Structure 1
Amino acid sequence: MDDKIKFNIEFPIQASPQLLYQYISTPSGLSEWFADNVNSRGEFFTFIWDDSEEAAKLLSKKSGERIKFQWLADEEEGINSHFEIRIQVDEITKDVSLIITDFAEEDEIDEAKMLWENQISDLKQVLGSV
């Protein structure tokens, strides 16, 4: 299996970093916009969409700043990839952005970016930041 290619996308978002962190780091917050339902047991999270279910391991998090997961299916296949959602605040303007770091097959990068755009659009609606 070929290694996946890393990509980053930035989304300006009008919300406080503290509120945003609740939506990216807790099962209840993630289930508002990222998946239909999210459960966690310790460092393991289960993301549920319609009829599919994906398990991920929490690799790291820094309160108020970022969270990083690895899909267990990738880990089992020996694929070195993860996804990270990072909150960035511009020191001068105080503008808040979400920086997404993810990995995808070369021919699936555009599709993966579109998926993130849809997910972040859902998050903005939940936050009232459209």
Structure 2
Amino acid sequence: MSKEKFHIEFLMGNASQNSLWRMISQIDGLCEWFADRVTIDDTDTIFTFTWDKDDSRRAEIISKNPPTSIRYRWLDENDPDAYFEFLVRKLDLSGDITFEITDFSDPDEKSDSISLWEYQVEELKRKLGI
């Protein structure tokens, strides 16, 4: 079964674009909201994300456009088209920042995946003081 792409967007108010970029692309930032522990290999392209001390997954950066977007691909992903991407945009009219996530999931797990991202982004907002 192929995975289904989905896109969700969150209003981040007056969050700093640089602060948000650190949270989605740097080890210390990702440790604050995305995983309990994050390490990076010597090539600076393979991240190991660990949750609950023993649940780990590795992802590679497949594209990066600082300070607006970063795309990761899980190394154990069977679907060659699947990835997850974080995109930071500044709205022209209000100057507010939006945080967009694109991800893939099995169709029957899509609502669970969206709920998990919503929970994670709430943690991100809390860490950013939003």
| 2:75 counterpart residue number | 72
8 Å Cα contact 1:37-1:49 kept in structure 2 = yes
CA distance in 2, matches of 1:27, 1:72: 18
1:108 counterpart letter in structure 2: E
For 1:15-53, what per-residue CA distance to the aligned partner results, in whole angstroms no more than 9, with x for missing partners? Answer: 111111011110111011000011111210000000200
Q: Structure 2 matches for 1:12-23, cutoff 5 A?
A: 12-14=11-13, 15-23=15-23
- Residue 53 of structure 1 corresponds to 56
Contact persistence 1:65–1:88 (CA under 8 A): yes
Name the counterpart of 1:7. Answer: 6
SS at match of 1:73: coil
Q: Return the offset for 1:79.
A: 3.6
Q: Within 1, Cα distance between the matches of 2:76 and 2:27?
A: 20
Quote the offset at 1:71 in angstroms. Answer: 0.4
Q: Provide, for residues 55-110 of structure 1, a one-character-per-residue CA deviation record: whole Å limited to 9, x for no partner.
A: 00110111110110000010xx3442000000011111111110000000000000
Moved segments of 4+, more than 4 Å: none
Q: Which deviates more, 79-88 or 109-118?
A: 79-88
Using the aligned pairs only, state the percent identity: 38
For 1:46, give the aligned amino acid. Answer: T
Deviation at 1:4, TM superposition (A): 0.5
CA contact (8 A) 1:82 1:102 kept: yes
TM score, norm. by length of structure 2: 0.94
2:83 paired residue number: 82
Q: Which ranges of structure 2 fall in alignment gaps of 5 or more residues? A: none
**Does structure 2 retain, via aligned residues, the 8 Å contact 1:67–1:86?**
yes
2:93 is paired with a residue of what secondary structure? coil
- Alignment length (residue pairs): 126
